[in-house]
């Protein structure tokens, strides 16, 4: 509960009538810290200060039209999908106020201002804001809690990722998760779904690269009876199964041109047609896509539709590789050890310092998925309650011993130097390999070859 004399929070008021603005400040300053603006331009700057609540008049300079206030509501909600906005409207402008609510405003009241009514509405709005903040904190805590199926990590890279996932989850924006194989893109998609208003609806995951080209369209959009040989009954596709929920489309870059066109139409119209069907079926879904490819390069090469790329890339989020997650290898290893010891009913309870050092020295080209597989093997083959460096696979032991002395032969040293240059360029380009190639003056094919060669 707020202590006596302490403001409930900070409220931003945008009102062009100086007398009314003064009246509002006088009425609210005892309960709120108040910041003000008198037109749409100054109001947009005020939004960037991230107050707790917004109070907007609808008719504001410079245009004097209702759209000025509606634009402020939209901008506040775009900056923070959970922003709490209250609007003021004049007599006879109830329809305009309802439009503002449709744009995401929490509530409205009509002028002239009744101080008691206004304070009641704003207290309710602030309580809503407090609950939203608490829920956001709970979502972030849930994302960091090391339970099966959740993301584990305390490195700065993971904390930033968890923060980004928590922020985007409540919206309905399409998200593109970009990261190397094994980094946990599906877990990130699950986290977005779990933090969204769609959490109680289906989460449907599809690996596009695993779909045979001849069946991809049917799997995604469904088919009618008799649409092709073997279609003995009508069947809904993944879009229909995800109704009201989230569709996770992994390896989206592998979709054929025909399926890309149908996916674009589904995103634009929110309707699909089954294979062999003639009627449009309304679909309500949130799309989360993922790729380990450079889709910008695919667009430039003409193998991925540019219009679809911008549709699925409303919010791009990069999943960091394990080598960028300083300190997380030991945390993840212990997490997997506990999980697989319980699952396989094995007595292994800890990792020796030597085993941990070996795991941390290894480059993990397969990222978290590879680490999980190695720890499961340790659990299965360790002979006592502690897994030691002798239980590690030979490749990891060899990597650990090589880490001390470094590569000795000339080819090994050249390869290590070449790999380090690539890693630094990719990191400087925020993981965008096309930009890294431009920095290094490599053509796309050279970059692709070198990244495959070094597992980047």
Least confident of 89-103, 124-138, 140-154: 140-154
Least confident of 16-25, 100-109, 325-334, 359-368: 100-109
**Do 396 and 441 share a domain, yes or no?**
no
The answer to whether residue 255 is domain-embedded is yes
**Do 419 and 346 share a domain, yes or no?**
no
Of 336 and 210, the one with more pLDDT: 336
In angstroms, how far apart are the furthest CA atoms of the chain?
83
**Do 217 and 294 share a domain, yes or no?**
yes
The band of 167, judged by pLDDT with boundaries at 50, 70 and 90, is very high
The answer to whether residue 65 is domain-embedded is yes
Residue 348 has pLDDT above 80, yes or no: yes
The answer to whether residue 2 is domain-embedded is no
**Do 333 and 418 share a domain, yes or no?**
no
Residue 3 has pLDDT above 50, yes or no: no
Residues 200-243: pLDDT tens digits?
999 999 998 888 777 888 889 988 888 777 767 778 889 999 99
Residue 6 has pLDDT above 80, yes or no: no
The Cα–Cα gap between 173 and 129 comes to 21
The Cα–Cα gap between 309 and 304 comes to 7
**Do 59 and 201 share a domain, yes or no?**
no
The total domain count for the chain is 4
Say what the pLDDT of residue 279 is. 85
The band of 411, judged by pLDDT with boundaries at 50, 70 and 90, is low
Domain that holds residue 430: 410-454
**Do 237 and 219 share a domain, yes or no?**
yes
**Do 180 and 294 share a domain, yes or no?**
yes
- The region that residue 226 occupies, defined by phi over 0 for left and psi between -120 and 50 for alpha, beta otherwise, is left
Say what the pLDDT of residue 164 is. 92
Mark which of 386, 405, 424 sits at the end of a domain.
405
**Do 338 and 299 share a domain, yes or no?**
no
* Prior bond of 62 cis (ω within 30°): yes
Say what the pLDDT of residue 2 is. 46
Mark which of 320, 336, 370 sits at the end of a domain.
320
Q: What is the CATH number of the domain that holds 382?
A: 1.10.8.60
Of 148 and 11, the one with more pLDDT: 11
Distances (CA, A) of 177 to 133, 163, 173: 25, 14, 13
Mark which of 87, 108, 137 sits at the end of a domain.
137
Q: Residue for token digits 């309580």?
A: 127
**Do 414 and 401 share a domain, yes or no?**
no
The answer to whether residue 266 is domain-embedded is yes
**Do 327 and 344 share a domain, yes or no?**
yes
The answer to whether residue 390 is domain-embedded is yes
The band of 143, judged by pLDDT with boundaries at 50, 70 and 90, is very low
Half-sphere exposure of 389 (CA within 13 A, CB side): 16
Q: CB under 8 Å to 159, separation ≥6 — which residues?
A: 153
Q: Is the pTM of this model over 0.75?
A: no
The answer to whether residue 143 is domain-embedded is no
**Do 268 and 293 share a domain, yes or no?**
yes
Q: Kindly report the average pLDDT of the chain as a whole number.
A: 84
Say what the pLDDT of residue 137 is. 57
The answer to whether residue 3 is domain-embedded is no
Q: What is the CATH number of the domain that holds 47?
A: 3.40.50.2300
The answer to whether residue 144 is domain-embedded is no
Residue 10 has pLDDT above 60, yes or no: yes
Residues 279-319: pLDDT tens digits?
889 999 999 999 999 999 999 999 999 999 999 999 999 99
**Do 420 and 374 share a domain, yes or no?**
no
Residue 134 has pLDDT above 70, yes or no: no
Neighbours of 396 (CB within 10 A): 19
């Amino acid at each position: 509960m707020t202590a006596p004399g302490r403001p409930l929070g900070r409220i931003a008021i945008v009102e062009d009538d100086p007398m009314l603005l003064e009246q509002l400040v006088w009425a609210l300053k005892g309960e709120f810290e108040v910041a003000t603006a008198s037109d749409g331009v100054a109001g947009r700057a005020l939004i960037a200060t991230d107050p707790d609540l917004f109070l907007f008049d609808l008719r504001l300079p410079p245009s004097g039209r209702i759209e000025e206030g509606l634009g402020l509501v939209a901008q506040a909600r775009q900056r923070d999908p959970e922003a709490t906005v209250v609007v003021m409207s004049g007599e006879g402008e109830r329809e305009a106020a309802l439009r503002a609510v449709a744009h995401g405003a929490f509530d409205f009241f009509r002028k002239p201002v009744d101080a008691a009514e206004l304070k009641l509405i704003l207290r309710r709005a602030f309580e809503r804001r407090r609950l939203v903040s608490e829920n956001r904190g709970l979502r972030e805590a849930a994302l960091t809690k090391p339970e099966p199926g959740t993301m584990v990590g305390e490195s700065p890279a993971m904390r930033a990722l968890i923060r980004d996932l928590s922020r985007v989850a409540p919206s309905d924006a399409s998200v593109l998760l970009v990261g190397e194989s094994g980094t946990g893109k599906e877990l990130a998609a699950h986290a977005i779904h779990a933090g969204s208003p769609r959490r109680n609806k289906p989460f449907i995951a599809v690996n596009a690269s695993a779909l045979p080209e001849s069946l991809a369209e049917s799997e995604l959009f469904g088919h009618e009876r008799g649409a092709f040989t073997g279609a003995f009954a009508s069947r809904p596709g993944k879009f229909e199964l995800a109704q009201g929920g989230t569709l996770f489309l992994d390896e989206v870059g592998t979709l054929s041109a025909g399926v890309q066109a149908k996916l674009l139409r589904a995103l634009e119209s929110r309707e699909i047609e089954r294979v062999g069907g003639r009627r449009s079926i309304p679909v309500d879904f949130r799309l989360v896509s993922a790729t380990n490819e450079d889709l910008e390069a695919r667009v430039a090469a003409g193998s991925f539709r540019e219009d679809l790329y911008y549709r699925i890339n409303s919010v791009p989020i990069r999943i960091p590789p394990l080598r960028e997650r300083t300190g997380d290898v030991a945390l993840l290893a212990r997490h997997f050890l506990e999980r697989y010891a319980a699952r396989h009913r094995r007595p292994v309870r800890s990792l020796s310092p030597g085993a941990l050092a070996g795991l941390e020295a290894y480059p993990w080209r397969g990222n978290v998925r590879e680490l999980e597989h190695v720890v499961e093997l340790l659990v299965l083959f360790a002979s006592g309650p502690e897994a030691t460096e002798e239980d590690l696979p030979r490749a990891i032991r060899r990597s650990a011993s090589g880490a001390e002395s470094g590569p000795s032969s000339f080819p090994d040293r050249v390869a290590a130097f070449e790999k380090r240059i690539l890693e630094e360029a990719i990191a400087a380009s925020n993981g965008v390999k096309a930009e890294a190639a431009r920095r290094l003056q490599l053509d796309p094919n050279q970059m692709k070859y070198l990244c495959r060669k070094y597992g980047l």
